Amino acid sequence: MEEQDPYELAAEAAKVLAEATGVENHDVVLVLGSGWAAAADGLGDVVADVGLDELPGFPAPTVLGHRNLARSLKVGEKSVLVLGGRAHLYEGHSAATAVHGVRTAIAAGCETVILTNAAGGLNPAWQDGQPVLISDQLNLTGTSPMVGPAPSVGLPVHFVDLTEAYSSRLRDIAKEVDPSLPEGIYAGLLGGAFETPAEVRMFQLLGANLVGMSTVLEAIAARHLGAEVLGISLVTNAAAGISEVELDHEDVLTVAAESGPRIMALLREILERL
Ligand code: HPA
Domain locations along the chain: 6-273
Q: Which residues contact residue 152 at a Cβ distance below 8 angstroms, ignoring those fewer than 6 apart?
A: 5, 7, 8
Q: Which of 32, 126, 252 to mutate to test the pocket of ligand 1 (most atoms within 8 A of CB)?
A: 252
* 133-156: burial string, b at 16+ Cβ within 10 Å, e else: bbbbbbbbbeebbbeeeebeeeee
Dump pLDDT digits (tens) for 171-217.
Answer: 999 999 999 999 999 999 999 999 999 999 999 999 999 999 999 99
Q: Is the whole model's pTM more than 0.85, yes or no?
A: yes
Q: Please tell me which residue in 3, 12, 176, 195 is annotated as part of the active site.
A: 195
Atom index in ligand 1 nearest the CA of residue 237 equals 8
What's the rounded Cα separation, in Å, for the pair 37 and 211?
20
- Listed in sequence order, the residues at least 6 apart from 157 whose beta carbon sits closer than 8 Å to its beta carbon are 150, 151
211 CA to centre of ligand 1 in angstroms: 6
Q: Which ligand 1 atom minimizes the distance to the CA of 120?
A: 7
- Is residue 211 lining ligand 1, measured as CB closer than 6 Å? yes
Which atom number of ligand 1 is nearest to the Cα of residue 117?
A: 10
- Chain Cα centroid distance, residue 240: 22
Written as tens digits, the pLDDT of the chain (274 aa) is 457 899 999 999 999 999 999 999 999 999 998 888 877 778 999 999 999 989 999 987 677 767 788 999 999 999 999 998 899 999 999 999 999 999 999 999 999 999 999 999 999 999 999 999 999 999 999 999 999 888 888 899 889 999 999 999 999 999 999 999 999 999 999 999 999 999 999 999 999 999 999 999 999 999 999 999 999 999 999 999 999 899 999 988 899 889 988 999 999 999 999 9
Report how far ligand 1's centroid is from the alpha carbon of 117 (Å).
9
Model confidence over 251-270: pLDDT tens digits?
A: 888 998 899 889 999 999 99
Q: Is 195 a catalytic residue?
A: yes
Q: Is the CB of 85 under 6 A from ligand 1?
A: no
* Residue 130 alpha carbon to ligand 1 centre in Å: 13
CB 119 near ligand 1, within 6 Å: yes
- In this prediction, residue 2 carries a pLDDT of 53
Q: Identify which of 244, 250, 240 has the alpha carbon closest to the alpha carbon of residue 120.
A: 240
> 126 CB under 6 A from ligand 1?
no
The architecture CATH gives domain 6-273: 3-Layer(aba) Sandwich (3.40)
Could you count the other beta carbons within 10 Å of the beta carbon of residue 268? 16
Q: Is the CB of 252 under 6 A from ligand 1?
A: yes
